[in-house]
Amino acid sequence: MNYKKISLILSLMIIIYVPSFNQKSVEAFSPQVIQHGAVGDDVIELQARLKHIGFYTGPIDGVFDWRTYWALRNFQYEFGMEIDGMAGQKTKEKLVKATEYNEQEVKQNMYQTQKPKQNQQNKQNQQAQGEQKQQPNQQQQQTQQPAEQTQQPAQQTGAVNVPQGFSQNDIKLMANAVYGEARGEPYEGQVAVAAVILNRVNSPTFPNTISGVIFEPRAFTAVADGQIYLTPNDTARRAVLDAINGWDPTSNATYYFNPETATSPWIWTRPQIKQIGKHIFCK
Amino acid sequence: MIRSILIAVLAIGIAGVGYWGYKEHEEKNALLIQAENSYQRSFHELSYHMDLLHDKIGTSLAMNSGERLSPQFVDIWRLSSQALTNVGQLPLTLLPFNKTEEFLSQIGDFTYRTAIRNLDDDPLSDDEIKTLEQLYKQAADIKDELRQVQYTTLENNLRWMDVELALATQEEQSDNTIIDGLKTVEKKVTEFAEGDEGSAFMEISTKDHEFKNVSGEWKDEEQIRNFSKDLFSIKDNVNIVVTKSGEGADVPMYSVSYKDGKSVYMDITQKGAHPIQILVDRPIEDKKLSLNDGLIEAEKYLKKFDYQNMIPLQSQQFDNVGVFSFVYSQDDVRIYPDSMVLKVALDNGDILGFNAKNFLMNHNKRNIPDPKFTLEEARDMVNNNVEIQEEHLALIENDLHEEVLTYEFLGTMNDETYRIFINADNGAEEKVEKLSGTETNFEVNM
């Protein structure tokens, strides 16, 4: 019995020990532990390596999603390692030993499908910009576009994390509404407006979709006067993400108003929760 | 004399016409925005409904009992008819939207037929499951295409009214991006798979639990001010604004806000000074920590507030911020209502957000009975096509907002991951969810 244990420990030690001589393994991944939800180059490498060895069959998109998670667990199971679904030092070394990874090729493949489409996008933008000459109200966007595009190649992955149940477009639409309604407000005031939209979606007395709530006639002044079509800034987007992830500075408010400009006396009869910035939030 | 009167009359006339014209113009613009808003609403709702539809069909594939399937099919049927209405409200008579409409009526027919029959006596046949799988794939295609066009319209600020105006003025229709975009919706079959939907980080409990177990002494504003000063390591506590909540609040609390380079916001209970939620906003530098490092920081923070037995449930990276959710674990049972979320900056590990609302609202010492069903028996209740990967005991809030003890199974089927809760007392299928949380990066894929 003892012999077996010792030999097992010895063999484990060898497994741990040997790769530390092997410089290649250290160069491959960065030293971080990769876990579910992570995004970036290490995930691309992880997916590519798992794919190479047949455990992962999904697209290499640089986001550690459930498919990657199960693939990694299967790998750990097959190779007799602790099954925790995280790529720590040991797992990474095993992977490096068992598989090959050609970073350039993989990344090229990842972007290949996207390149022709990007050209298409440029064309579309040119078209859009051509049209904009007749539409001065869209100018803001014109200045924004090139900046965004130059940023693109650096860190883009083929997929992104989104909060469950939401699309990037839902976030954008809400960011538009929040920016139109509360761009001058403090950060928590913007989160609060986003939270009110979500509280309304969950409330039985309002429409059940984000777009339904936002575009409900006479619900938001920014929608009625067209301010919703301004291009939102990053703060509004972050505020929306926080609200979607559960932050609600309003404590379940479904109404808010600006006491200086509110015209309806009815709104004053609602039980008030608190004031954030210029807005009073109520039930 | 007559000349000057004439000039005056003319001037008044011109001014009047000008004013009238301006009013007309304003009215026209207001109406344009109104019309634009209703088109936008229909379109965004359509893509949302398609998304939801795709998700619901996917979930129904993993369901087993007629008791769950029938209401699910009714729901799909309802959604398909709502989506059809959305299509009908769009100014798309000139556009080929046939594929979407056809799909919607197909799925409507199918779910109606199956929903009205007794699925326990007469379960889905293999052919029907195949049809359902096919519809699921189709739904994914249409959903992806719609989401892509939606992205384009949002990104480029495209307006439906421009199309309408062009038509109204009979102008030659040169390349109009919105029409072009929508035409490709019908043609393009994208190869990428995408899935979102599922459960949010925070399960929303609709029942009002009243923070029953929030304990401690009542604090006054000065004490809260000092507490915040220490918590956020603020030097001077003069600029900390503390306000009391009004009568509409669920629980008496103070709201703390402070601004100096970064913006800090906190809701904290008046009784016991438990932070309900904290939000810190500041510019975030380049990412230096991994998501895993962030998790370790989050766990440290929970220890600091003496929250014991919290187990990490989910983690996600958004830009350079990690978001982590935790649930309370009592005797190895995951207590889903007692959840918390933390947000960690991945540049230096600062805690940017903390949300213990659900935990404070729901947490108490529960008496958890022994399950009547064994794990094996519960596993038999799960759809055979689902390959079970992980299992736990879990306490969840069901559709009736009662807390029930369940077996939680994480399983895979056709590359999707599902979470299935089987009641540990009677074997009922309490909840089936499709998990995901990633989406194709439209910015790259455009």
Q: Which residues of B touch A35 (CB under 8 A)?
A: 290-292, 295, 315
Most confident of A148-162, A234-248, A251-265: A234-248
**Chain A residues 123-162 within an 8 A CB cutoff of chain B:** 124-125, 127-128, 131, 135, 138, 141, 148, 152, 156-162
- pLDDT band at residue B179, thresholds of 50, 70 and 90? low
- Per-residue pLDDT, averaged over A28-55, amounts to 86
Whether the predicted pLDDT of A4 surpasses 60: no
For B36-58, b/e burial (b = at least 16 CB within 10 A) is bbebbbbbbbbbbbbbbbbbbbb
**Chain A residues 74-113 within an 8 A CB cutoff of chain B:** 86, 111, 113
Of A39, A231, A272, the CB nearest to B247: A272
Whether the predicted pLDDT of B130 surpasses 60: yes
- Per-residue pLDDT, averaged over A119-144, amounts to 41
Dihedral (C-alpha) A227, A229, A231, A232: value to the nearest 10 degrees?
60
Of B38, B248, B438, the CB nearest to A63: B438
Joined together, the tokens standing for residue A56 give 């992962």
Single-letter code of the amino acid located at B396: I
Spatial separation of the C-alpha atoms in residues B241 and B259, rounded to whole Å: 9
Spatial separation of the C-alpha atoms in residues B410 and B389, rounded to whole Å: 6
Cβ-Cβ pairs closer than 8 A, A with B, add up to 278
Does residue B134 or residue B190 have the better pLDDT?
B134
Q: Which residues of B touch A39 (CB under 8 A)?
A: 317
Of B191, B249, B358, the CB nearest to A251: B249
User: Which pLDDT does position A113 carry in this prediction?
Assistant: 54
What is the DSSP-derived secondary structure letter of residue A250? T
C-beta of residue B343 within 8 angstroms of C-beta of residue A244? no
Spatial separation of the C-alpha atoms in residues B265 and A190, rounded to whole Å: 12
User: Which pLDDT does position B176 carry in this prediction?
Assistant: 56
- Per-residue pLDDT, averaged over A53-77, amounts to 88
Best probe of the A interface among B438, B439, B442, by most A CBs < 10 A, is: B438
Q: Which residues of A touch B442 (CB under 8 A)?
A: 168-169
- pLDDT band at residue A120, thresholds of 50, 70 and 90? very low
Whether the predicted pLDDT of A194 surpasses 90: yes
> Beta strands B321-330 and B333-345: pairing type?
antiparallel
- pLDDT band at residue B17, thresholds of 50, 70 and 90? very high
- pLDDT band at residue A5, thresholds of 50, 70 and 90? low
Spatial separation of the C-alpha atoms in residues B313 and B125, rounded to whole Å: 36
Of B199, B202, B249, the CB nearest to A273: B249
Joined together, the tokens standing for residue A240 give 């929306």
CA-based R_g, chain A, Å: 26
Q: Is B41 on the interface with A (CB under 8 A)?
A: yes
Of A124, A164, A210, the CB nearest to B437: A164
Whether the predicted pLDDT of A123 surpasses 50: no
CA nearest B200 in A: which residue?
A164
Whether the predicted pLDDT of B434 surpasses 70: yes
User: Which pLDDT does position B178 carry in this prediction?
Assistant: 58
User: Which pLDDT does position A57 carry in this prediction?
Assistant: 87
- Per-residue pLDDT, averaged over B430-437, amounts to 82
Tell me whether residues A161 and B317 touch, CB distance under 8 A. Answer: yes
Whether the predicted pLDDT of A136 surpasses 70: no
- pLDDT band at residue A152, thresholds of 50, 70 and 90? very low
Tell me whether residues A125 and B156 touch, CB distance under 8 A. Answer: yes
Q: Which residues of B touch A67 (CB under 8 A)?
A: 415, 417
How many other CB atoms are there within 10 angstroms of residue B300's CB atom? Answer: 11
Does residue A117 or residue A260 have the better pLDDT?
A260
Whether the predicted pLDDT of A6 surpasses 70: no
Spatial separation of the C-alpha atoms in residues B88 and B98, rounded to whole Å: 11
Minimal Cα–Cα distance from B391 to chain A, Å?
14
Q: Which residues of A touch B443 (CB under 8 A)?
A: 148, 152, 156
pLDDT tens digit string along B201-254? 444 444 455 677 777 888 888 888 888 888 887 777 667 888 888 777 778 888
Of A35, A228, A235, the CB nearest to B291: A35
User: Which pLDDT does position A112 carry in this prediction?
Assistant: 61
**Chain B residues 185-224 within an 8 A CB cutoff of chain A:** 191-194, 196-202, 204, 206
- Per-residue pLDDT, averaged over B127-151, amounts to 84
Q: Which residues of B touch A124 (CB under 8 A)?
A: 152, 156, 177, 180-181, 446
C-beta of residue B124 within 8 angstroms of C-beta of residue B114? yes
CA nearest B205 in A: which residue?
A202
User: Which pLDDT does position B409 carry in this prediction?
Assistant: 92
Q: Is B330 on the interface with A (CB under 8 A)?
A: no
CA nearest B281 in A: which residue?
A187
Spatial separation of the C-alpha atoms in residues A224 and B234, rounded to whole Å: 42
Whether the predicted pLDDT of B446 surpasses 60: no
Range with the poorest average pLDDT among A54-68, A167-181, A262-276: A262-276
User: Which pLDDT does position B98 carry in this prediction?
Assistant: 65
> Among residues of chain B, what percentage have pLDDT more than 70?
86
**How far are the Cα atoms of A23, A94, A197 from residue B312, in angstroms, in the given order?**
34, 26, 28
Whether the predicted pLDDT of B197 surpasses 70: no
CA-wise closest residue to A164 among B341, B352, B195, B440 = B195
Tell me whether residues B445 and A117 touch, CB distance under 8 A. Answer: yes
Residue with tokens 């009922």: B428
User: Residue B210: CB partners within 8 Å, gap ≥ 6?
Assistant: B250, B251, B361
- Per-residue pLDDT, averaged over B403-418, amounts to 89
Average pLDDT across chain B, whole number: 81
Best probe of the B interface among A32, A69, A167, by most B CBs < 10 A, is: A167
User: Which pLDDT does position A178 carry in this prediction?
Assistant: 93
> Among residues of chain B, what percentage have pLDDT more than 90?
12
Q: Is B269 on the interface with A (CB under 8 A)?
A: no
Spatial separation of the C-alpha atoms in residues B291 and B320, rounded to whole Å: 9
User: Which pLDDT does position A95 carry in this prediction?
Assistant: 85
**Chain B residues 89-118 within an 8 A CB cutoff of chain A:** none
Spatial separation of the C-alpha atoms in residues B47 and B97, rounded to whole Å: 13
With a threshold of 0.85, tell me whether the complex ipTM lies above it.
Answer: no
User: Which pLDDT does position A175 carry in this prediction?
Assistant: 92
Does residue B179 or residue B284 have the better pLDDT?
B284
Of A69, A141, A167, the CB nearest to B157: A141
Tell me whether residues B279 and A188 touch, CB distance under 8 A. Answer: yes
Q: Which residues of A touch B172 (CB under 8 A)?
A: none
| DSSP codes joined into one string, A35-70 | -TT-BSHHHHHHHHHHHHTTS--S---SB--HHHHH
Minimal Cα–Cα distance from B8 to chain A, Å?
36
Range with the poorest average pLDDT among A168-172, B180-184, B218-222: B180-184
Whether the predicted pLDDT of B68 surpasses 90: no
User: Which pLDDT does position B299 carry in this prediction?
Assistant: 92
- Per-residue pLDDT, averaged over B305-328, amounts to 89
- pLDDT band at residue A183, thresholds of 50, 70 and 90? confident
Q: Is B247 on the interface with A (CB under 8 A)?
A: yes
Most confident of A137-141, B112-116, B385-389: B385-389
Tell me whether residues B44 and A202 touch, CB distance under 8 A. Answer: no
Minimal Cα–Cα distance from B307 to chain A, Å?
19
Q: Is B293 on the interface with A (CB under 8 A)?
A: yes
C-beta of residue B253 within 8 angstroms of C-beta of residue A274? no
> DSSP H helical segments within B316-383, as ranges?
357-362, 375-380
